[in-house]
Amino acid sequence: MRGFATSLLGSAIAGVMLATAAFGAAQAEDVIKVGAPLPLTGPLSPEGEKQKRGYDLWASKVNESGGIEVDGKAYTVEIVYVDYESNTPRAVQSAERLITEDEVNFLFSPFGSGAAKAASSVSERYQIPTIAATASSEQVYDQGYKFLFGTFTPNGTLTDPLAKIVADSGQDVKKVAIYARNDLFPLAIAKEMEGSAKDNGFEIISFDEYAIGTVDHASALTLMRQSEPDWVFATGYINDLILIRRQMSELGVSPKVLTMIAGPAYREFIEAGGSSADNVSSAAWWHPAVSYDGEGVFGSTADYIAAFEAAYGSTPDYAEASASAAGDILQIAIEKAGSIDPQAVRDALAGLDVMTFYGPVKFGENGQITSLEPPVFQIQDGAPKVIYPDAIASPTCCATARYHKLNPSKSRGRAACGLLLLSGELAMLYIQILLNGLMLGGLYVHRGGLRWSGARSERHQHHARFVRRAWILRRLFRLRASGHSSVRLDRARRRRPVRARLPAADR
């Protein structure tokens, strides 16, 4: 009898377990999983967090509204995040893991053009529809892939209006200096601006690149200042551009026009830059000033902004809006396909021609959106003001009437080119010597002078001394020629660099 009872109990438990498993499987089938590899730590984490806010808002809004309707059945949305630590190879690995291990149905690309391009080969191989919310470079979309779609228009849609606005301003702007981060998107848009500037009659006097992770731009900016550009066009991500703007101010680099992409579109740039952020111009793929009434869970632009402000207490920028739009577009495509089959959803994405809170959405044959007109804006009095297009320009702002505000410096003759006072110039000179000395083996003080020391070969030290002395002599001669009679040139003692003698007041 006891054996029979035990057997009956075991059968009952087994039945409950099978029922639970079936219920769990049914629940799993009612969930659409979207993979999102993001740089949530590392130097690109500010951008990664922005995308996450945009995705989270979309997912919560969809689930609050009852899910995504597919063939009479409602699916909830789950976003599966992986932090790839701002490392592109890890972004590729994360994309593969999301597809093979987490078994996501769809994918949002990693941040930026470089990582999006690298990871797109994975989603194409597995034929998983993928939406890139922050990739504009055409190199991402010229690979012939069929499962990749992007919400940013090509880089030329930003640089062409910028160049035309400056060219039509009536200001005496002729010489352009370009300074770009050596990364796919920053370098691609810098090259696009080179072409746009030339097409509008500007002279490119320099095109310099800086390495990913650069924290000291003093040498490049000093050379830029000497060339006296009328317009500086700098590219990078938010931490790069905050640093570059700060060092431009410290070094007295004051062009008539300063354009930066893409940091100024973020409130963090304005907060970090303070008054130095004013009059910086830029362009982006979306701005809260636009007004659309569209399909999707958000409906109108105003409703989207209200939902974002309620969730996060701030106004969305273009990166956050693009991330939310990626979700909105995916939802519309799924509902139009009436299926979560990857091929069916891919075909629906390719054929979309709809209006959303983000703007009109239509993809070209390569998968990149072609239907948007990105706004050009300028930071004025601590807030971004839209300059172009006229349809959404700020009421007190237009491309020509406010163009003079693009000049961050006052009219100060030669001083406007960024020359520092004597004491500041020589202070920067000593800082340059110190920085280069530390990198080339160390410096130490000997009888009031800076001397090279140690860790490198004598030949290397000799070469470094020769290069630095040549640079220092050239700078001192320039100061001497400019009329600063207090600057004198001394012959250095053996193994001591040439140094400037400061007036007593500056010692």
Q: Containing H/E element for 125?
A: helix 112-126
Give yes or no: residues 38 and 149 share one domain.
yes
Question: Given the structure tokens 């939310």, which residue do they identify?
Answer: 324
State the total domains in the chain.
Answer: 3
Considering the domain architecture, whether residues 455 and 496 belong to the same structural domain is answered as yes
Question: What's the number of CA atoms in the CB half-sphere (13 Å) around residue 314?
Answer: 12
Mark whether 256 and 336 lie in a shared domain: no
pLDDT for the residue 393: 77
3-class DSSP state for residue 26? helix
What is the rounded average pLDDT of the residues 351-368? Answer: 97
Mean pLDDT of 422-445: 43
Give the residue numbers spanning the domain of 171.
156-284+389-415
Q: Does any domain span residue 271?
A: yes
Q: Is the domain of 35 the same as that of 124? A: yes
Residue 319 domain-assigned (yes or no) = yes
Same domain, 93 and 209: no
> Considering the domain boundaries, does residue 2 fall inside one?
no
Q: Are residues 398 and 345 in the same domain?
A: no
Is 377 part of any domain? no
Q: Are 195 and 316 members of one domain?
A: no
Q: Is the pLDDT of residue 18 over 50?
A: no
**Tens of pLDDT along 182-224?**
999 999 999 999 999 999 999 999 999 999 999 999 999 999 9
Flag whether 371 is in a domain: no
- Say if residue 456 is exposed, middle or buried (CB neighbours under 10 Å; 0-12, 13-18, 19+): middle
Q: Are residues 68 and 182 in the same domain?
A: no
244 lies in the same domain as 113? no
For the chain, percent of residues with pLDDT exceeding 90: 68
What's the whole-number mean pLDDT along residues 417-438? 42
For range 434-458, the mean pLDDT? 39
d(CA 250, CA 231): 18
In this structure, the answer to whether residues 316 and 277 fall within a common structural domain is: no
CB-based burial label for 216 (10 Å; 0-12, 13-18, 19+): middle
Q: Can you tell me the distance from the alpha carbon of 221 to that of 372, in angstroms, rounded to the nearest whole number?
A: 35
367 domain-assigned: no
Q: Please tell me the distance from the alpha carbon of residue 5 to that of residue 12, in angstroms, as a whole number.
A: 10
Q: Which of 176, 204, 174, 136 is nearest to 367 (CA)?
A: 136
Is 369 among the domain residues? no
Per-residue pLDDT averaged across 66-79, rounded?
Answer: 95
